[in-house]
Amino acid sequence: MSITSDNNKRIAKNTLYLYLRMSVTLLIGLFTSRVTLNALGVHDYGLLSVVGGVVSLMSYANSLLYLGTSRFLTIALGKGDEKELKNTFSACFTLHLVIAGIVLLVGETVGLWFVNNKLVVDSDRMFAANVVYQLSLFYSCISVIQSPYSASVVSHERMSAFAYMSIFDVVAKLFVVILLLYVATDKLILYQSLYFLIGLLSVVIYRNYCNRNFSECNMRLYYNKALYKDLWKYIGWNSLGMSAYMLNAQGVTVLLNLFFDTAVNAARGIALTVCDKVYAFMNGFQTAVIPQIMKCRAQENFSEMNRLILNSAKYSTYLLLLVGMPIMIETDYVIQLWLGQVPEYVVPFIHLTLFQMMLGAIDSPVNKGIHAFGEVKLLNMTASLVNLSILPIIYVCLHFGASPVSAYIVAACIFPLTLVIDILLLRKYTGFSIRSLIYEAFAKLMLIILISVVIPLLLCQSMERGFLRFVVVTLTSVLFTSICIYNIGLSKTMRQKVMTKLKLMRLMCGK
């Protein structure tokens, strides 16, 4: 079996596991949030949010550590050097222990002082606030310790274990919330205590799984100056890029609030929520591809690496299109069905955000290809400049009386600069074909959109608004988009593979 065929099968299998994870966690998560509010009540729920929010600020470092650990473990796996893999895991685990210690120290000093002296908490709930804070802090620490094990599971592409652990986590938390409805004790303290125990159990399960399946995960303290230097450099430059991204996102929100009322901020929040759910369908596929891109870099198999990046960009946009096009056409009705009303500006906000997400779907695998080389200084510097340059332009537009939609138009016009820079950087490292990306990802995508959108739009215009039209437009959109993707987006070889799979499924159903 060829390497390419083996990679394709592994990606397909892992993508299915990740979609299973996403579907279950999303459905249970939405239900759990609603039941939690009912079980705790508004005041305790608010107290949980504000106290937990103090600790959540410390989880920022954990996300950066996870990103670095995953990258270095995957590269070591790709090289096939068992000694380097063991040293890498041990060094990363030691670093996570140090960070967990720092989080605990800061939390028990500065954080504890802040909770008891600055947060506005009713005097009769101060004890509960302190208990929740301590449990949240310990939960944050064990999450840091679990991080290298989670990164190891993903690096080894054991997405089934990753999916099952995530499902266990949300199901266990659902049982906790249901239990709260039937107990008479302090529900807030019980809730956070059981959440902490679930987190502790997750660490134990992850550790035992990794120790049984991955030889490098046998815990030992290890110091490697050169590795730590590379890891901190990688984390440091990524923190710059992530900080600029977060500042951009929050900055746009603040600017909209300065020039308009909170209703515009509500529309922005709704648009981001809808688009995040759409993005999740595409993100599962990319999560399955990234480890293989990293391993190809370690093996210096640049032709396969470029193929994976190109295909990931193509198929990510196709997945986004399948889910996003019905929402684009029926945005008004979707929001009406969900919220009961359609806030002003929410429709153009969603449309322009989905456009940016389409470009982001192409950029993400290109970006991860550069990350595989560890040369992220220039990448993050340019991305930070682009992200931060958006804010003053938006300010000028709003200052001279532009609509809130102009903020999204400015972002949509400037964001492609990031994609262009990333493509040029990747080409420098791997010889990536820009012509292939333009033809395969952009030209074919535009043709698919132009052809597949016609019938759903005509149906939308000719039918009376309602649930029946929404169902008909959605099914028609998915059908015509799928047909166009099959005939235009897929290569001849891929079409043959799809037909073979469909024939096999039909035979199995016939039996």
Segment 221-251, tens digit of pLDDT: 777 788 888 888 888 888 888 888 888 888 8
Are 208 and 242 members of one domain?
A: no
pLDDT tens digits for 118-146?
777 788 888 988 998 899 889 888 888 88
Residue 414 lies in a domain: yes
Distance between CA atoms of 269 and 339, rounded to whole angstroms? 13
Q: Determine how many CB atoms are found less than 10 A away from the CB of residue 396.
A: 12
Are 240 and 193 members of one domain?
A: no
Are 189 and 242 members of one domain?
A: no
224 vs 57: which has the higher pLDDT: 224
61 vs 235: which has the higher pLDDT: 235
What is the helix (H) or strand (E) element at residue 462, kind and residue range?
helix 454-462
Give the pLDDT of residue 397: 92
Are 240 and 217 members of one domain?
A: no
What pLDDT band is residue 263 in, cutting at 50, 70 and 90? confident
Closest alpha carbon to 364 in 275, 305, 303, 282:
282
Residue 499 lies in a domain: no
Q: Residue 3 pLDDT > 70, yes or no?
A: no
Are 287 and 204 members of one domain?
A: no
Residue 22 CA: distances (Å) to CA of 112, 279, 284, 417: 35, 11, 8, 31
Residue 489 lies in a domain: no
Are 329 and 424 members of one domain?
A: yes
Total structural domains within the chain: 2
- Give the distance, in angstroms, between the CA of residue 377 and the centroid of all CA atoms in the same chain: 22
Residue 372 lies in a domain: yes
Are 198 and 313 members of one domain?
A: no
Rounded to an integer, the average pLDDT of 57-63 is 67
Residue 240 lies in a domain: yes
b vs e for 78-104, b when ≥16 Cβ sit within 10 Å of the residue's Cβ? Answer: bbeeeebbbbbbbbbbbbbbebbeebb
Are 85 and 131 members of one domain?
A: yes
Q: Residue 220 pLDDT > 80, yes or no?
A: no
pLDDT tens digits for 376-408?
888 889 989 998 899 999 999 999 989 999 999
Are 78 and 14 members of one domain?
A: yes
What pLDDT band is residue 4 in, cutting at 50, 70 and 90? low
What pLDDT band is residue 506 in, cutting at 50, 70 and 90? low
Are 199 and 235 members of one domain?
A: no
273 vs 431: which has the higher pLDDT: 431
Q: State which of 433, 451, 481 marks the end of a domain.
A: 433
Average per-residue pLDDT for the chain: 85
Low-confidence winner among 165-179, 259-273, 321-335 (lowest mean pLDDT): 259-273
Q: Residue 23 pLDDT > 80, yes or no?
A: no
Q: What is the pTM of this model?
A: 0.81
Residue 491 lies in a domain: no
Give the pLDDT of residue 53: 64
Q: Which residues contact 245 (CB under 8 A, 6 or more apart)?
A: 383, 387
Q: State which of 169, 196, 223 marks the end of a domain.
A: 223
507 vs 428: which has the higher pLDDT: 428
Are 211 and 310 members of one domain?
A: no
Residue 10 lies in a domain: yes
Q: State which of 401, 416, 433 marks the end of a domain.
A: 433
212 vs 58: which has the higher pLDDT: 212
Give the pLDDT of residue 1: 47
Give the pLDDT of residue 505: 64
Q: What is the residue range of 241's domain? A: 231-433
Residue 92 lies in a domain: yes
Are 192 and 266 members of one domain?
A: no
Q: Residue 298 pLDDT > 90, yes or no?
A: no
Give the pLDDT of residue 9: 72
